[in-house]
DNA sequence: CAAACAGTTTAGCCTTGGCTAACAATGTTG
DNA sequence: CAACATTGTTAGCCAAGGCTAAACTGTTTG
């Protein structure tokens, strides 16, 4: 085994800067992040497709490519994946649509995204910055934290 | 050009749920996130190596593998990259050390990480959750937001 | 209605970050 | 000090997510 030097504070929920967390916990932190990364892009695509359908009535590959700042080829490939995952339906050269599962994912993502964005604005972050941060943060915020953020925002708005 | 349907609210800094942001801004959001992803893992490694050096006096590949929940081969490969990037120095079969640049990066990452973690705890998030969320969020929080988080935490501690 | 243009797909390439299996070096200990 | 256990490295595989170039489809328009 490794990690066998000082045995102090293997359990204390102390501040991170003080001591290393126990191996298993530490490992789980990284594993969770790695995991989030796998679904992140998928969720972003589905969320964006949902938004385009809502606000534009259709979701074309070219729009997605523009808004994601990515080549059309990349989008095309990704759509194939989304299809295999049964999140979207698409006929070649036609607009995309979300399946049931896709719609559910889009709503969830949209909701998370909005909670984080509103929270950041309530905290006092400038709009442009809040948007960028929210885009990055949304996939890494637990339900627990999300809940707290939402309550915080509501609280703020009352005053 | 694409994106040519309704022309309303192309500039209003409205809430995301209401309308799509202008293409350029939207594109920049995604680009920023993609960019963060490229440096994220590197920073995690460097940060962890720094922590191990501080708290254990040495940083062995096996420790890193354990704490990241990743195979030793993966760590070994990554160390080669860190070497090329001149962030660590390493002699085969020996402990790692950080270069100047590596130390600077480790400190910065550590500081960001702590600010986010403390902020989440100050918000009322449970320790275990806060740690996981902080690990995921730290790379996506702008300096502006970081600043606000820090002030919020200090404020909270006074009361 | 044919040509030109815009949009989409396919093919083929690259890098990253995982993995396992096999091998090499180091360290510990009977 | 030899054998074994631990640690580190290398080789070779895979999937994901980018890219460009080229081929194909659909739409608009002279």
Between A6-10, B51-55, B138-142, the lowest mean confidence (pLDDT) is in A6-10
Cα separation values, A26 from A12, A32, B24, B67, Å: 14, 10, 38, 6
Closest CA to B31 of A71, A35, A94, A51: A71
Cβ of B23 within 8 Å of Cβ of A60? The answer is: no
Which residues from B are below 8 Å from A26, CB to CB?
67
Task: Write down the residue that tokens 């192309």 correspond to.
Answer: B10
What SS3 state is found at B119?
helix
Query: Which chain B residues are Cβ-neighbours of A27 within 8 angstroms?
Result: 66-69
pLDDT band at A18 (very low <50, low <70, confident <90, very high): low
What confidence score (pLDDT) does residue B19 get? Answer: 86
pLDDT band for position A16 (cuts 50, 70, 90): very low
In terms of CATH architecture, what is A23-158?
Answer: Orthogonal Bundle (1.10)
Of A114, A136, A149, the CB nearest to B32: A136
In this predicted model, what pLDDT tens digit does every residue of A76-122 receive, in sequence order?
999 999 999 999 999 999 999 999 999 999 999 999 999 999 999 99
Confidence check: pLDDT of B15 > 50: no
Residue B32 has pLDDT above 90, yes or no: yes
Distance CA A157, CA B148 (A): 18
Q: Do B145 and A129 touch (CB under 8 A)?
A: yes
- Neighbour-count burial for A118-131, b at 16+ CB within 10 Å, e otherwise: bbbbbbebebebbb
The pair of three-digit structure tokens given for residue B27, joined into one six-digit string: 């594109």
CB-count exposure of residue B3 (10 Å: 0-12, 13-18, 19+) = middle
> Residue B158 — very low, low, confident or very high, per pLDDT cuts 50/70/90?
confident
Look-up: residue for tokens 């049931």? A100
Three-state SS at B99: coil
pLDDT digits (tens, 9 = 90+) for B88-135: 999 999 999 999 999 999 999 999 999 999 999 999 999 999 999 999
Instruction: Report whether pLDDT(A9) > 90.
Output: no
Share of residues in chain A with pLDDT > 90 (%): 86
Domain boundaries, chain A: 23-158
What's the N-to-C CA distance of chain A in angstroms? 55
Please state the three-class secondary structure of chain A as a single string. CCCCCCCCCCCCCCCCCCCCCCHHHHHHHHHHHHHHHHHHHHHHHHHHHHHHHHHHCCCCHHHHHHHHCCCHHHHHHHHHHHHHCCCEEECCCCCEEECHHHHHHHHHHHHHHHHHHHHHHHHCCCHHHHHHHHHHHHHHCCHHHHHHHHHHHHHHHHC
H helix or E strand, kind and range, residue B87: none
What is the tens place of the pLDDT at every residue in A23-76? Answer: 999 999 999 999 999 999 999 999 999 999 999 999 999 999 999 999 999 999
């Amino acid at each position: 085994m490794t990690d066998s030097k000082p045995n102090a504070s293997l359990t204390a929920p102390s501040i991170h800067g003080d001591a290393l967390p126990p191996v298993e916990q530490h490992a789980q932190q990284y594993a969770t992040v790695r995991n989030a990364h796998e679904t992140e892009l998928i969720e972003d695509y589905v969320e964006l497709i949902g938004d385009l359908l809502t606000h534009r009535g259709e979701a074309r590959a070219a729009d997605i490519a523009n808004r994601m700042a990515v080549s059309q080829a990349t989008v095309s490939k990704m759509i194939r994946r989304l299809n295999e995952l049964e999140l979207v339906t698409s006929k070649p050269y036609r607009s995309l649509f979300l399946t049931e599962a896709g719609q559910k994912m889009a709503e969830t993502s949209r909701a998370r995204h909005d909670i984080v964005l509103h929270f950041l604005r309530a905290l006092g972050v400038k709009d442009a910055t809040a948007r960028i941060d929210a885009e990055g943060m949304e996939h890494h915020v637990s339900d627990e934290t999300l809940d707290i953020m939402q309550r915080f925002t509501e609280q703020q708005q009352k005053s």
